[in-house]
Structure 1
């Protein structure tokens, strides 16, 4: 196996780069290419990986195994060269499973919250001395990377549902944070999207555990499908334990449950009581947002299953440093805080607006939003408009198409035309300058989206520095 040479097409992507890093740490040979230079590419080069920008099909040789993601099209010259050369092909999810082959696999799935929850498990288990391996689609601040090959028995992975590839995993422990329709360009309907999570539950190894957020309607529906009579008869469900967590009372059919009772919400922290049977534990997080308490409850249950005590788990959660682009502070000038966030689904954007309102205090919430994917913009335009109208002011720039070609008539205007407090500015840097010039002390500025909008924080901070230095 170690003599095989792997070639990653699109190696700079968030999901691909972490798998590539794990391959490096395993000592396996690999090379990679991407369409643009990036920090991920630079990091891999520093690790000794031969990487190049653009395509070089002449470098593809028959003994290579081509690693690709669903974003790579068959027309890609290196992909086509691999087919012509008779190379073996391996999807990114299969490569990740290979990297995790000798560890206890923990898979974190869900339409929202995967990165934060998987990063939170990684750091919590690390703080508890477990030294887990992990592959997260974002930088875990504690490690300053999204991938790590640890010495411990656990492998924690963010399980991507976008293309159904999470069905390639066979976890011993799985978490589903929520099931809300997305990626309809792939699934075609919300029913098929939900069906994928039902299939995912059946991928869990017999004797394993599924942890669900039972506040979520999609997770409650899944629980009823797995245990239709609300009982614990194994004939009604996969031969697994099913645990739940939430702010609301538990539904029938669970083997265990963690009830979250919020205590205190402040601009930079939140706390709650976690009630599990006769066990009551106070948990505090150094970040705002009720949704983060729910993420922490999933991690709390995972840690308890792994054998860690409630007290030491709470202590580790209190040290969580977050993940990049998840309510990440990029700077503060003249009392104006600049936050960057990856939210790209209307539910995520609405949760972010509520979190930002808590953090802003008496200040205003000002937003620069970049929609991600034409299909998602088309499907959820009205919901994006409603979510963004929770801010005091929002500017929406052009859609970041990523893997998609433009759709006729689908522009960011189909969002702003439905908004009360929004406007359309095509260029993200111009939008950033506009918002930065409107801000005053105690306001909170957010750059939001899954594309390259994060680069606009540099523009925002530059304008603020110029304004407040005068």
Structure 2
């Protein structure tokens, strides 16, 4: 089993027995370019192709097995119940339980089920393995809880992943304290408007967003903007957003701001020290005097 994406263009070199197309999103390249790669993958899949039921995947669905929640899906999830720590759904007459939260995990499970059905695995044989799936590192991973506040570390780094992380956080907490570190000036420039739209749409009036400066790992990209510029655009939509000038400042701010029942969501990619940041926030929250009511703003 190989997980691949369109980032380096190598997707067109694969000739899998079974190809699975999960989604068509704007991440590393424009969607038209990604669609061309998907068309090549579709042609090179030797035995079967499994495709999500989103409308923008229709061009690749001819002769494919579709998965999703719609009536046109061959592997259709029904009776979906999203809980704060787990999810339940049914495919045909078989009930499934996932010990991980989020609608995106249900979609991923349906893709896996569809791929297994394509090679003849009975539905009932898939129940136990999926019930034993506890997730992977930095995919909505709980770092810990202190004084009624949960800190979660997540790899989210494009619009759809950020939206999925925030929606999953909403299953656990009424208020989300979101932290995001963009990575790379080229990727951030490419996705800038998507970030503004997504944070403005997904964060509720009571939520907060802090954005760190763009993570720069070297290279020749032009560094002609700051994350502070993106924050200003998001705040202009009415979202409570601030630029975090340093991690030390941010940790202190979160410790002072967080209250019982909040979920602190640390998001970003490529920088392995983000997990350390999440741990530092947890420690600071544990040591702080946490308010039980909304702070005065």
Q: Same fold (TM over 0.5)?
A: yes
5 Å matches for 1:111-126?
none
- Per the alignment, residue 18 of structure 2 pairs with 173
Q: Retained in 1: the 8 A contact 2:159–2:195?
A: yes
- Per the alignment, residue 294 of structure 2 pairs with none
CA offset digits 1:353-394 (Å, max 9, x no partner): 11110121xx41101100122223223223212322423001
Q: Distance in 2 between matches of 1:182 and 1:320?
A: 26
Q: Retained in 2: the 8 A contact 1:377–1:410?
A: no
Q: 1:405 to 1:179 in 2, by over 3 A?
A: same
Alpha-carbon offset, residue 468 of structure 1: 5.0
The TM-score normalised by the length of structure 2 is 0.87
Q: 1:417 to 1:262 in 2, by over 3 A?
A: farther
Q: Distance in 1 between matches of 2:161 and 2:270?
A: 15
Q: Distance in 1 between matches of 2:216 and 2:40?
A: 29
- Per the alignment, residue 444 of structure 1 pairs with 263
Q: Distance in 2 between matches of 1:430 and 1:460?
A: 11
Q: Retained in 2: the 8 A contact 1:397–1:412?
A: yes
Q: Retained in 1: the 8 A contact 2:24–2:31?
A: no
Secondary structure in structure 2 of the residue aligned to 1:432: helix
Q: Distance in 1 between matches of 2:89 and 2:198?
A: 26
Structure 2, gaps ≥5 residues long: 291-297
- Structure 1 residue runs of 4 or more that deviate by more than 6 Å after TM superposition: none
2:214 pairs with one of 395, 399, 422: 399
- Per the alignment, residue 311 of structure 1 pairs with 124
Q: Does structure 1 residue 257 correspond to structure 2 residue 74?
A: yes
2:178 pairs with one of 367, 370, 373: 367
Alpha-carbon offset, residue 283 of structure 1: 1.3
Structure 1, gaps ≥5 residues long: 1-155, 233-241, 251-255
Alpha-carbon offset, residue 459 of structure 1: 1.4
Alpha-carbon offset, residue 328 of structure 1: 0.3
- Per the alignment, residue 387 of structure 1 pairs with 198
The TM-score normalised by the length of structure 1 is 0.56
Q: Does structure 1 residue 248 correspond to structure 2 residue 70?
A: yes
Secondary structure in structure 2 of the residue aligned to 1:202: helix
Q: Retained in 2: the 8 A contact 1:182–1:193?
A: no
Secondary structure in structure 2 of the residue aligned to 1:210: strand
Note the aligned Cα RMSD (angstroms). 2.0
- Choose between structure 1 and 2 for higher RCO, CA contacts under 8 A separated by at least 6 residues: 2
How many pairs are equivalent? 280
